[in-house]
Amino acid sequence: MSFTNNSKDGDEIEEWLELNWDSTWCDPSIFNDLLGWLRRFYDSMKIKASKEMENRMIETKQQRGTIENSVNFFSREMKSQLLKHLDRPGWKHESIAYFLNRLGEEVAELCNAIESNQPREIVIKESADVANFTMMIADVYRQRKSRQIK
């Protein structure tokens, strides 16, 4: 019996070993046959794995690029909205209740912009307003150590 190049798993070799084990120890050519099959099987698995890994790396790179582009664009919008209010004292001492209340108002403004078919620039700005209030909540939690934030 000889091994084929295209075995998909180790079943063929296991079956062969069961049938031929008693005689294999004394015939080196059988080991060569076996080693050749194992080498081809290993190489085919290595090629398959490297192709899968390469595809995964390409997909990951594309996904990472998409995420970075979207987040960079949106963070610029968020900053642009915040910079319009440099005259205000900031959010460090505001309460979570205040942020939640303003967040609700901004969500309503965003819904209104979408429902009334406002230009996309307006929808993007309202989206940035919503994000800015959630950012403020996260920022307050990030900077305060106490669990009791009201």
Residue 77 as a binder of Mg ion (CB under 5 A): the answer is no
Question: Could you say which of 12, 33, 94, 109 contacts Mg ion (CB under 5 A)?
Answer: 109
> Total residues contacting Mg ion (rule CB under 5 A)?
3
Closer to Mg ion by Cβ: residue 37 or 126? 126
Minimal distance in Å, beta carbon 128 to Mg ion?
8
Closer to Mg ion by Cβ: residue 12 or 109? 109
Long-range interactions of 130-137: CB distance < 8 A, separation 24+ = 130/103, 130/106, 131/74, 131/78, 132/78, 132/81, 132/82, 132/106, 133/99, 133/102, 133/103, 133/106, 134/103, 135/78, 136/91, 136/94, 136/99, 137/96, 137/99, 137/100, 137/103
Question: What burial class does residue 142 get, using C-beta atoms within 10 Å of its C-beta: 0-12 exposed, 13-18 middle, 19+ buried?
Answer: exposed
* Span of 20-28, 45-53, 90-98, 123-131 interacting with Mg ion by CB under 5 A: 123-131
Residue 129 as a binder of Mg ion (CB under 5 A): the answer is yes
* Span of 11-19, 40-48, 71-79, 126-134 interacting with Mg ion by CB under 5 A: 126-134
Applying CB under 5 A, which residues contact Mg ion? 109, 126, 129
